[in-house]
Chain A
Amino acid sequence: MTAHNPASPPFRNPVIRWVDYRLPVFTFMRDHLGDYQTPKNLSYMWNFGSLAGIALVVMILTGIFLAMHYQPNVNGAFASVERIMRDVNYGWLIRYLHMNGASMFFLVVYLHTFRGLYYGSYKAPREVLWMLGVLILFTMMPTAFLGYVLVWGQQSFWAATVITSMVTAVPFVGEPIVEWLWGGFAVDNPTLNRFFALHYLMPFVIVGIIAIHLWALHMHRSNNPTGVEPKGPEDTIAFHPYFTVKDLLGVAAFLIVYLGFVFFAPNFFTEPDNYIPADPLVTPHQIVPEWYLLPFYTVLRAIPHKLTGVIAMVAAIAILFLMPWLDRSPVKSARFRPLYRMFFWIFLLDCLILGYLGAQTAEEPYVTAGQIATFYYFAHFLIIVPAVSRFEKTKPVPESISVDVAAREGRRPRRGVGTKKKEEVA
């Protein structure tokens, strides 16, 4: 199976043929969106990748239109956001789409990531694909944070102060670096200006990483719920129309959830405090990051030492990079790994607990609970996963995707359809 399909018939339309001979965009689309062979047993858990792409497109689109009205200036930022909400035609809609879009983007990306963890999508030969995904998640976080600051409400300002102050944990050069980040001696106008510039830039960096992520994906194609690589044409179907339609169905469902929040609970994910203009002399009673950063915030707070806390927080995401090497099990899918499956769910629960604790005040019993949950988080990666992959007795893996599909449907395997000319391809 190669990405390019030399056996494809020529295009019938002469204009398409003319263009394609010079710039093979149509061949490319056919090979990667049309005939692209995809495991036929992908579940709806495989929808979140395309949804993440949609979410990013919506974020960029709404962001560009917001930038047409936003003023990156400490005196005008908050008022310009409120002007968008009140006076700009449909400004409230575009702003709420952007605000809730960030939450939705993280939601689908987290689901996408946990799907990868469950089905072992990080394993050979998809390690680079996985690491690029982690890199995207890593890039999304500062992007979201920068955007949150732009509103210039109380939470914006104090989140900016707290997060940038983490740099002061760096020995010796911490202070000069944070002044460099701020462009001054506190979070102020220069800070806001550069945050705006960077917030506008970062999404396009993410688009670039996604392009490489997709490149890596199309090299060895999607993993699937069995974790068994396709063995022949009976295991796969063409991407179009099967997965285009399935992805679009996912988009419709996603829009119902997303726009449900936008139209009927637009402030569900935000802190009321951020509707108070930034005041550099009054700290809010509690500084709470957006929900998608809460687990990492708990990790930061769990460690009573400044530098170690910051390192732990970064490590909590970075450790995902190592997943392909921490898990040595030859079986990919948790469906055939009872022990790993159990620990996967405990890990997911631990992440939810970390998230819950991140929203609590820094007092007992939350501090101790946060430390335990943080310890477990790292233990999962560094102790449990390596140990489980070593000692676990896995269940027998099906012979092939089609055998598994047939077994689940209670019938004998049959030849797949929509797999034309697979003989030549294979």
Chain B
Amino acid sequence: MMRPFLSFTLAALLASSAALAAESEALPPPDLEWSFEGPLGLYDRDAMRRGLKIYREVCASCHSIGLLRYRDLRALGYTESEVKEIAGQYEVPAGPDPAGNTVDASGNLLTRPATPADAFVAPFANANAAKAANNGKVPPDLSLIAKSRISGPDYLVALLTGYGEPPAGTELAPGASYNLYFPGHQIAMPPPLSPGQVQYEDGPEATVAQMSTDVSHFLMWAAEPKLEERKNLGLKVMGYLAVLFVLMIAVKRRVWRDVH
């Protein structure tokens, strides 16, 4: 549903590349349909799990997602032991050992496997390390990326699928890639996804569009993990308020009868 539209826009825009060159404003991202939209919309567990896989295998090599804890993955339907196993694949600095040391004999930081209580391990130790490895720009943390951009998930999909050849006459800065949806069109992130890059165990084919939607779905959850709890409670509260409102109208009419 989204692919044809995308390629259409892409073709249309590249055709009018002269106009485009003058226009450095980013395009508004296409409006996609998401299961979590609307007052009843909830997350799609399968999409989120696929998204997590993409985050771990692709995004996580540059982007941190520091506000997530491994225990949060229970919301994706993983069991306690599965979460423990995922966490255990990462190493975090350990506290002092029984002898009070924080470093080993060769001076390296002591580490231990992460536990569900730990935050997602960041790819770089600090901002400068991240900068040095990424052309002088720190890849943004992804914890809130879906909420900190206008029409967040739509924008993320547009960005991930919006790479292309720059129009003639456009000079790209060193290391930059051309992206239709990025403000200024020059983005430091090279195209991160290629078809079949991630092995999906089951479900859809791992096209770039599919992977983009899945990871955006996951990132939306990461940014707003309480969405389902919020909507569930919201429906009950609204039901309650409807009853209260009707009752209050009746009481008000009854009380005011003798005035009118």
Contacts and interface: CB of A to CB of B under 8 A. Distances in A.
A96 B252 CA distance: 31
A85, A249, A259 interface centre (most CB from chain B within 10 Å): A249
Contact of B152 (A93, A252, A272): A272
Contacts of B150: 272
A274 B147 CA distance: 9
Interface stretch (B85-93, B161-169, B226-234): B226-234
A248 B256 CA distance: 13
B10 interface: no
Interface stretch (A113-121, A175-183, A202-210, A262-270): A262-270
B255 A285 contact: no
A40 interface: yes
B241 A256 contact: yes
Given A252-B244, A259-B238, A245 B231 contact: no
B112 interface: no
Contact of A252 (B229, B237, B248): B248
B152, B237, B242 interface centre (most CB from chain A within 10 Å): B237
Contacts of A248: 248
B8 interface: no
Contacts of A273: 148
Contact of A242 (B39, B244, B256): B256
A241 to B, nearest CB: 5
Interface residues of A, number: 36
B256 A263 contact: no
B56 interface: no
A246 B256 CA distance: 9
Interface string B121-155: 00000000000000000001001100111101000
Nearest to B151: A272
B252 A246 contact: yes
Interface string B216-247: 00000001011001110111011001101100
A262 B72 CA distance: 23
Contacts, number: 84
Nearest to A248: B248
Nearest to A83: B67
A275 B230 contact: no
A248 B140 CA distance: 48
Nearest to B245: A252
A235 to B, nearest CB: 12
A237 interface: yes
Contacts of B226: 85-86, 92
A384 B49 CA distance: 63
Contacts of A246: 252, 256
A259 B248 contact: no
Nearest to A250: B248
Contacts of B259: 40, 237, 242, 416-418
A20 interface: no
B251 interface: yes
B259 to A, nearest CB: 6
A423 B40 CA distance: 58
B211 to A, nearest CB: 24
A276 B148 contact: yes
Nearest to A272: B148
A260 interface: yes
A82 interface: yes
Nearest to A41: B259
A259 B241 contact: yes
Contacts of B241: 252, 255-256, 259
A253 interface: yes
B144 A275 contact: yes
Contacts of B148: 272-276
Given A245-B251, A264-B234, 10 more contacts: A82-B67, A82-B144, A86-B72, A241-B255, A245-B252, A256-B238, A256-B242, A259-B234, A275-B147, A417-B258
Interface of A: 40, 79, 82, 85-86, 92-93, 96, 237, 241-242, 245-246, 248-249, 252-253, 255-256, 259-260, 262-264, 266-267, 272-276, 285, 409, 416-418
13 contacts: A82-B144, A245-B248, A245-B256, A248-B248, A249-B248, A252-B241, A252-B245, A262-B234, A263-B237, A264-B231, A272-B147, A272-B152, A275-B147
Interface of B: 39, 67, 72, 140, 143-144, 147-150, 152, 183, 223, 225-226, 229-231, 233-235, 237-238, 241-242, 244-245, 248-249, 251-252, 255-256, 258-260
**Across chains A and B, which 3 residue pairs bring their CB atoms closest together, nearest first?**
A263-B234, A275-B148, A249-B248
